[in-house]
With several copies, the nearest count.
Chain A
């Protein structure tokens, strides 16, 4: 029984059902009435990622450092190379170029984990947290806990500023003149 002439791995030629070339190889010559296809391996820096009848392999793209690109997957004969923007930049499809990541304004923090090749996601600082800088990497930071430092809160925190602890220590070490002894 003749094997099925599946379109994925075969092609018809001269009324025959011939084998396509597997990924990583290209069709050097088509089948003949007496012989099947001749496939040869892709050359350096080339690939084909499907069963194919291409007479030439595809050229890997260039992860061009001059466009702030780095290779995240070098690819091989059967898989295309993948590039991404270097840290601090993200791929912008409008210009097909690497754009600086957005800086989160004070009151906002960069959502972690930071994702390679994606723009910063800025989220507002929740109660108890603040950010007083513009940054494309820093998250919101928690307010300082004055009591842990044995101090009082002189000024409350906001989403853009830390609390301000008083400079003097709390009553656990009472000041000398005001010692009061309860009966």
Chain B
């Protein structure tokens, strides 16, 4: 279970692979897997349940949004040294209309699924609109736990 590194939230709107996660403070913890460059690496082949929870928020004090029409998305992806480009495992999100009239907007996405993973494969999380990420540890996190051997 990895929680977002609140001190290192990327700016901007374009889709961004989050690379800065806590692994040892608060609810964050890691065992039998490795965190390297923001990717959760599998050390043991197995069937894992993967999950991610991403919260987006905007307060009017942060100024106006570029557009009131947004698409807030999360993509959980798999990469491996053996296969060059990444593969989308799970996606979730919503198009949103965040009108300037409201002072605060909030939206959370949750995805989860059961996947066969091999040692050496790596899981990472891409989000749209990274600057809108909620930095709380109970808001933006992802993780995995092994359920069965292969």
Contact = CB atoms under 8 A, between A and B. Distances in A.
Q: Do chains A and B touch in the complex (CB under 8 A)?
A: yes
Interface of A: 43, 45-46, 50, 52-54, 58-59, 61-62, 64-68, 86, 89, 93-100
Given A53-B82, A100-B103, A45 B25 contact: yes
A95 B25 contact: no
B135 A66 contact: yes
Name the 4 nearest CB pairs between A and B, nearest first. A59-B26, A95-B71, A68-B61, A68-B59
A94 B71 contact: yes
A80 B91 CA distance: 20
Interface of B: 6, 13-15, 22, 24-27, 57-62, 71, 73, 75, 82-84, 87, 95, 103-104, 106, 128, 132, 134-137
A98 B59 contact: yes
Nearest to B56: A66
Contact of B25 (A59, A86, A93, A98): A59
A62 B26 contact: no
Contacts of A97: 59, 71, 104, 106
B138 to A, nearest CB: 10
A66 B6 CA distance: 11
A66 B57 contact: yes
Given A46-B25, A97-B71, A86 B136 contact: no
A96 B82 CA distance: 25
B137 A67 contact: no
Most chain B Cβ neighbours within 10 Å, of A68, A95, A97, A99: A95
Given A52-B83, A53-B82, A62 B6 contact: yes
Contacts of B106: 97
A54 B83 contact: yes
Contacts of B58: 66
Contacts of B57: 64, 66-67
Contacts of B73: 95-96
B67 to A, nearest CB: 10
